[in-house]
Structure 1
Amino acid sequence: MKKVSLLLSGALLAMAFQANVALADDTKLESAVNEVVGTPYLWGGTTTEGFDCSGFLSYIFKQFSTQLPRTSKLQAEAGDKVAKADLRPGDLVFFNTDGKGISHAGVYIGDGRFAHSSSSYGVRISGLDEEYYKTRYVTARRIVYGQNYLSMEEKLSHESETTVLTESN
């Protein structure tokens, strides 16, 4: 019986993550990201119809009153450089995926994870320690301070304690 309960719990947890769940202990940044996980990749895309990596970042940060440059190369020049060991949620992370310099970007969300719009998978969450990203990591930039940072890190309100399921993409 314990095995069945454990398997059922694991299956429900997996389904919840696939369904873009917003939990009460999520930060507003995590919630904003989770709302668009699964959105398809679209070169030049800046809306929920489809995002490229820099368009995804612009969309997320606009929700926190922060305007970003349009391309990942220009975004990598914004704000202040931050060491990988000092990353905090909201920092931008940059990668060289084409061998020609910075060509991909994401937003660090904590616990070694970052959100990005991948040309192969659309908006998703990946780990900085995944071999592909670990070997292509270039730099990180901090662009959010003060009230905008506090807003991103604010926990969702008590009203949001119930699980909110959205249609999976």
Structure 2
Amino acid sequence: MSGAELLVEPLRALLTALGTGVLAPGNPAERLHTAASAVDAARADSQAATRAARDGWAGTGGAAAFATAESVHRGMTVVTADAAEFSRLVQTAAHKVHSASTRLHALVDSLERSAAALGDRLFTPAGLMALVPIAADHLGRGVDIVARTRAELQADTEAMAALGRRTAPAASGAPADAGRLSSAPVPGGVAVTLPDGSVAYAPNERAATAVRAALSQRGVPYVWGGTTPDGFDCSGFTQWAYRQAGVELPRLAQDQDTAGYPVSQADLQPGDLAVWSGHVAMYIGNGQLIEAGDPVGVSPLRTTNLDQTFEGFYRPR
């Protein structure tokens, strides 16, 4: 192996360790998605049959049977939503790995071009010495890519582990604690797994995207005037999260209510904003907010914030 190849080898090792992020056909996430679709279709058929039977079966026995059927239907909806969330998490993680792999490949190509540009000098001590700092810079950038990808994957890992804890049977063989299902599915709702392992249901994909984007930034430090994942202030954080969903909010916290309409606390849904005279936070469901503090984190739902005036809850349009 030549000296140049030795200098490229650490980057290739990073590539091997990272993987490609390309999911093979028939992977578990794909199979689970197919199974979930079958469960959802069975639920729809069962609900149709239940509605048809309801017209001709009156009395206590019928009422009990229909109540049981509805309970089963709700359970099937939860299973379908959990399967969809698992598949989404796998796809999201794979995309992040694939993106990082593409960037590492670009670094390898760049370093090889730098080596080729040295021509015959590459085979001299002086040429190798000229290539060493270039290789060190490329390797440092490669390590940074891997480190950033690991950090980005942490939220997905935590969400998947929480989903597994919630859906897996308890050690005794009994179902997992049903108390963790603190948010019931809503018609057309989009499941979002929260850091505590519970599942909330956003009213639509746009709100779910904003909530997931916000959750992905937990741990980012507070920076006055910050509007990027390098550091956020409160309104920069909610603005960034909604921008990932294709919605542009005003820059200032006290103005972000103008981009939506008021909702009551009883009608809160994931993605709604809690607005004060100088602060804003996002409701993520199940009695929890996420907000830019020091750092970005999840906190219990509240309407007080220091001595600021609470302006209300708002749902972005």
Taking structure 1 as the reference length, the TM-score comes to 0.61
Aligned mates of 1:131, 1:139 — CA distance in 2: 10
Residues 1:108 and 2:283 aligned together: yes
* SS of equivalent to 2:236: helix
Pairwise CA distance, 1:115? 0.8
Partner of 2:159: 22
Structure with the larger RCO, 1 or 2 (CA within 8 Å, 6+ apart): 1
1:98-155, Cα deviation, whole Å (9 max, x unpaired): xxxx11101110011111102xx2211111149768x9644011114xxxxxxxxxxx
Letter in 2 for 1:33: A
Partner of 2:314: 141
Aligned residues: 117
When residues 49 and 75 of structure 1 are mapped into structure 2, their CA distance, relative to the original with a 3 A threshold, is: same
Letter in 1 for 2:254: K
Aligned mates of 1:105, 1:78 — CA distance in 2: 13
Partner of 1:7: none
Letter in 2 for 1:71: L
Q: Conserved in 1, the CA contact under 8 Å of 2:214 and 2:241? A: yes
Residues 1:59 and 2:240 aligned together: yes
Aligned mates of 2:310, 2:286 — CA distance in 1: 16
When residues 80 and 131 of structure 1 are mapped into structure 2, their CA distance, relative to the original with a 3 A threshold, is: closer
Aligned mates of 1:78, 1:131 — CA distance in 2: 22
Pairwise CA distance, 1:80? 0.5
Letter in 1 for 2:159: A
Pairwise CA distance, 1:29? 4.1
Pairwise CA distance, 1:93? 0.6
Letter in 2 for 1:49: D
RMSD (Å), alpha carbons: 2.4
Aligned mates of 1:76, 1:30 — CA distance in 2: 17
Partner of 1:40: 221
Partner of 1:158: none
Q: Conserved in 1, the CA contact under 8 Å of 2:221 and 2:295? A: yes
Aligned mates of 2:305, 2:234 — CA distance in 1: 16
Partner of 1:124: 297
Pairwise CA distance, 1:22? 3.1
Q: Conserved in 2, the CA contact under 8 Å of 1:22 and 1:34? A: no
Runs of 4+ in structure 1 displaced over 2 angstroms? 19-31, 129-133, 135-138
Letter in 1 for 2:299: S
Larger helix proportion, structure 1 or 2? 2
Larger strand proportion, structure 1 or 2? 1
Aligned mates of 1:130, 1:40 — CA distance in 2: 23
Letter in 2 for 1:106: A
Aligned mates of 2:159, 2:211 — CA distance in 1: 8
Letter in 2 for 1:143: P
Pairwise CA distance, 1:66? 0.2
When residues 67 and 131 of structure 1 are mapped into structure 2, their CA distance, relative to the original with a 3 A threshold, is: closer
Aligned mates of 2:273, 2:211 — CA distance in 1: 14
In structure 2, runs of 5+ residues without a counterpart are: 1-153, 164-191, 194-207
In structure 1, runs of 5+ residues without a counterpart are: 1-18, 96-101, 145-169
